[in-house]
Amino acid sequence: MTEQLSFAYYQTAAGLLETGCTAQAVWILRFLTGTPEYPHQPTALSDKTAEEVRAYLAGECRSFTVPYQITGTDFQRSCRMAAQRIPYGETRSYGEIAAAVGNPRAARAVGAAMARNPLWLIVPCHRVCGADGSLTGYAGGLHLKQHLLQLEQSNREASESL
């Protein structure tokens, strides 16, 4: 990346959202638990990203249209792209993601790749769970992971009953 990231911060129903954007793409999207590290420099793209996150958290949208950049090693990127293919309101295990990327014995490495995901929600690592369906690890905390999964499941069930 040759361009510098501009960081911006937005209050949402899930907490303080941090975006890190270039003029072309979102590189970082996460919720902060502490004080922002960088100055608040909103852009049209960070504003649009926050708008989409708020709509997602309100149950009004299920996917994101903002341009983004998936980063990491080849393995991390393949895991993150596999996570993006998990349908809204569903989950997959770390082992299922490992098998999907051609390395069925790499469930722990998938967990590490998800833990370092800088694009929360856009790359829905909250949809990746333990083999028994248990909620394991989430950088935003298990309470947020549970909230996001419940939000998606209830919205999906409501739309299926229509």
The residues that are catalytic are 125
Instruction: Determine the Cα–Cα distance for residues 143 and 138; give it in Å rounded to an integer.
Output: 9
C-alpha distances in Å from residue 51, one per residue of 48, 70, 99, 124: 5, 20, 35, 17
Instruction: Determine the Cα–Cα distance for residues 159 and 149; give it in Å rounded to an integer.
Output: 15
Handedness of CA 97, 153, 115, 85 (dihedral sign): positive
Helix (H) or strand (E) holding 19: strand 15-21
